[in-house]
Amino acid sequence: MVRKILYWTSTVIVGIMLLFALSYLTGSEQVVSGFTKAGYPQHLRIVLGIAKPLAAIVLLALLIVSYLTRPSSRRLKFSPAVGRPAQQG
C-alpha cells in the first residue's frame, strides 16, 4: 500500500511540474511579468517551455536505461512460492 502511495505521489508531482512548463508557452500573465521583472527576454520563455518537457523525457529515457542495465546484485530476488522478495543473507 505504501508503495502505491509513493508511486502515485511521485507521478502526480512529475505531472504537475510538466504542466507548469505549459504556462511558459501559454503566456500566463504571472510568467510574462516574472520574466519582465527579472529582466529576461520573452523569447526565453518559449525556449524554456519547449526545453523543460523534452528534458523530462530524456531524463526518463536515461532512468529506464539505468534500470534495465543495473547489475544483478542490485536486483530483488523473488520467492516463487509467495511472490514476495526473498530474504537475502
Burial environment of residue 21 by CB neighbours within 10 A (0 to 12, 13 to 18, 19 or more) = middle
The model's pTM is 0.63
pLDDT band at residue 79 using 50, 70 and 90 as cut-offs: low
Q: Tens digits of per-residue pLDDT, 8-26? A: 898 888 888 888 888 899 9
Pull the grid cell for residue 74: 542490485
Mean pLDDT of 38-65: 90
